Structure 1
């Protein structure tokens, strides 16, 4: 089952295999990040970049890790209000590849430095943003849209 989940996730993401650049790479990426795209939040300094477990703790859950791969880690959070996914990446390029692949499905996501939170109830993203920082991004999706009569 776990292999099927990993294979399905990786099939959706046109990622190349590479090693993490280490702390020096993370420091360079932090300096290159556009501060206007990342909103401030009380814990934002702790979150970016972070591990699934750190983000989960800040949002009030203990994540169950679903995917552990070179390109990403993904954990499932279950709370009284909502279930949601936290995905972290070793480099920004992997996050961007994930977003590019997810764009065909559309939806709203909370996006930070090397992490993404996705939830079925998009109204929850603003509550998470106040705790984590980041920005809410709307992805368009492809295909026909429902007509309004």
Structure 2
């Protein structure tokens, strides 16, 4: 396995940890449609941007976990929660990442060549600062309340 593929796979391995924070209730209500786009004042700076720029706008200093040709990913640790910021050199890499993440379900803040993976209640405050759309991804398996 190449280093790039290992790094990309490593980035996907943390998805269950981050999306597990969201709880199953969000998946039951999600219809896969993104919420409205926010024209955040800082959005011009973020679209597209480096992990470090996005982290600074959310109030943290990211620790880079993955630095590959297809993506860069940093972990932010704050008093409220831990969250991931992933940036991509091309939109097609972001779309591939989202397609793979859909297996895990959950909500994500998605912008131009970047994704923030955080607790759902944090995504709206980040959207106010970063712009983007909150997207609900469907997970695999039964939804809560189904046998």
TM-score by length of 2: 0.76
- Contact 1:38–1:112, Cα closer than 8 Å, also in 2: no
1:78-126 Cα offsets, whole Å, 9 max, x none, are 111111000000000000000000001100000000000001x211000
Mapped contact 2:88–2:94 kept (Cα < 8 A): yes
Query: In 1, are the aligned partners of 2:8 and 2:66 still within 8 Å (CA)?
Result: no
Higher Rg of the two aligned structures: 1
Give, in whole Å, the separation in 2 of the partners of 1:85 and 1:53: 11
The answer to whether residue 90 in structure 2 is matched with residue 82 in structure 1 is no
- Secondary structure of the residue aligned to 2:120 is coil
Q: Which residue of 2 aligns with 1:103?
A: 102
Q: List gaps (5 residues or longer) in structure 1.
A: 13-36
| SS of equivalent to 1:53 | helix
CA distance in 2, matches of 1:7, 1:113: 19
1:124-135 maps to which residues of 2 (within 5 A)?
124-135=122-133
The correspondence of residues 1-149 of structure 1 with structure 2, limited to 5 A, is 6=7, 8-9=9-10, 38-119=37-118, 121-147=119-145
Superposition CA RMSD, Å: 2.2
Shift in alpha-carbon separation, 1:54–1:7, aligned structure 2, 3 A: closer
Contact 2:8 2:68 in 1 (8 A): no
Task: For structure 2, list consecutive stretches of 5 or more residues without a partner in the other structure.
Answer: 14-35
User: How many corresponding residue pairs?
Assistant: 122
Cα separation, 1, equivalents of 2:48 and 2:11: 21
For CA contacts below 8 A with separation 6 or more, give which structure has more relative contact order: 2
* Structure 1 stretches of at least 4 aligned residues deviating more than 6 Å after TM superposition: none
**In the alignment, is the contact (CA less than 8 A) between 2:62 and 2:75 conserved in 1?**
yes
